[in-house]
Structure formats: C-alpha cells, structure tokens
Amino acid sequence: MLEEKDQTMMEHLEELRRVLIISLVATVVMAGVCWFFSDKILEIILQPVLATGNKMHYIGIMEALMTKVKLSFFLGFLTALPVTLWQFWSFIMPALRKTEKIYFTIFVVVSYLFFIAGILFSFYTVFSIGVKYLLHFGGEELLPMLTIGNYVSFAMMFILPFGVVFELPLAVFILAQLGVIDYQWMVKKRKMAILFSVVAGAVLVPSPDIITPLMMATPIYLLFELSASIVKLVDWLKRRKAKKKALEG
C-alpha cells in the first residue's frame, strides 16, 4: 500500500516537473520570438520619455544588449503565459469534477485577459502620465540623464503589479459566489483597503517621492471599490434568486 502511495506521489512530481519544463521552454521560445520585435516594443516603451523631448542613454557597453534580452524575456513570459496556465490547468484537471472543470477553464481565460488588461491600462494611463509628470520636476535647469537599463527595469517593475492587482475583481466575484464574503464585509474593510493601497503602492513602486506610490495606490483602491460593487451585485442576485425560489415553493 505504501509502495503504491509512493508511486502515485512520484507520478505527481514527475507530472509537475513536466509542466514546469514545458512552461520554461515556452517562455524561452517566446522570448526568442519577441527578440525580433524588441526594437519596436522598446520604441513604444520609450515613447513617454521621448514625447517630452528628452533622450535615452546607456552608460555600459553591455547595457543596451542586456536591456533587450531582459525585455525579450519579460515579453516572452507574457506571451507564453497562456501555455503556462494551460499546463497547470492540465495538472489540476484530473482532480476536478465536470462542472468545476468548466468554471476553472473560464477562470483561467478571464484571469489572463484581466492580467493583460491591467498591464495595458498601467502603461497607457498611469505609467505614461506619471513619467511625463515626474520629468517636469527637474525644471529647465536640470537635464535628465536617463539610462535605458534603469528605465526599462522601472517600467517592468511598475506595470507588472497592475496585472496582478487587476485580478482582484475576479477573485472577489468568486469569493462572493462561494459565500465567503459579502457587501457588508467589503464596507467594513474600506478603511483597511485605503491603508493597504497606500502600503502596496509604496512597496510595489519604491520611490523617494510620494507621487509615484500614490499613482499606484489610487488604481488599487478604485479596483477595491469596483470589487465592492461586484459583490453588491452578486448579493442582490442571490437575494433575488432566493426570493424567487421562496415564491415558487
């Protein structure tokens, strides 16, 4: 019996190893593909700085090359994410019932779309506006010497958390459906959400100025309010369904 249990455990570990290897290979392959588009993507990422009339520099011989490699792997991770999610889905699928498989598949697809939406929203709104705003602090007397490596690292560090934060409405919708949370609970946690948003903004986007973390904190809190509205809608639908059932009974 113990032998069978050990064999099953080893099979699970072997399957998990296969999932991780395929996900890693997919990321590396997509990073190689994204390398050919790195110049075009880099041009888009640099647009907030170039639009202000400033120029980008690199101070190390390898800095431009390593920046493109780093950007390619970042894009490779994003483009290979559906493959990674699918692999983990196939690993979990045998343990799920038919209905759970349908819901989990929808969750995987929607969560990826929300993740990409968060990244795009961050770049084209908060990040672009923030870069232009922060560059104005130098005034006409100071000339910014922006290096490509630091700028791209800052951009990735800034926009990636938005992808994760954009999963909040989906997460609270599922929790509300399961009855774990309700609208009253969300209302009680409003002050804590404000505090968490400010702390998360400071941690996710560390910066000596107060404006940059607040630019991160504001969308996080707005997402909390959106999530609260979603929970309120779920509660209303549940009450309506219960009332309808009571009338039919």
Contact 181, 74 (CB under 8 A): no
Dist CA 246 CA 249 (whole Å):
5
DSSP string, 155-208: HHHHHHHHHHHTTHHHHHHHHHHHTS--HHHHHHTHHHHHHHHHHHHHHHS--S
pLDDT in tens, 63-75: 989 999 999 999 9
* Per-residue model confidence (pLDDT) at position 31: 94
pLDDT in tens, 129-174: 878 877 877 667 778 888 999 999 988 888 888 888 888 888 888 7
Q: List, in order, residues 6 or more apart from 47 with CB less than 8 Å away.
A: 128
**Which regions in the chain score pLDDT beneath 50?**
1-7
139: left (phi over 0), alpha (psi -120 to 50) or beta: left
* Residue among 68, 80, 69 nearest 29 (CA): 80
* Per-residue model confidence (pLDDT) at position 95: 65
Residue 214 has, within 13 A of its CA and on its CB side, a CA count of 6
* Per-residue model confidence (pLDDT) at position 1: 46
Cα dihedral 15/21/24/30 (nearest 10): -100
Q: List, in order, residues 6 or more apart from 99 with CB less than 8 Å away.
A: none
* Per-residue model confidence (pLDDT) at position 209: 67
Dist CA 137 CA 89 (whole Å):
47
**Tokens representing 112?**
């990826």
Burial class (CB in 10 A: 0-12, 13-18, 19+), 61: exposed
Q: List, in order, residues 6 or more apart from 81 with CB less than 8 Å away.
A: 112, 115
**Tokens representing 230?**
């979603």
**Tokens representing 36?**
């050919």
62: left (phi over 0), alpha (psi -120 to 50) or beta: alpha
What's the chain's Rg over C-alpha atoms?
A: 23
* Residue among 223, 76, 206 nearest 162 (CA): 223
Tokens 């991770």 sit on residue: 77
- What does pTM read for this prediction? 0.76
CA distances 152 to 8, 67, 88, 155, Å, are 45, 7, 30, 5
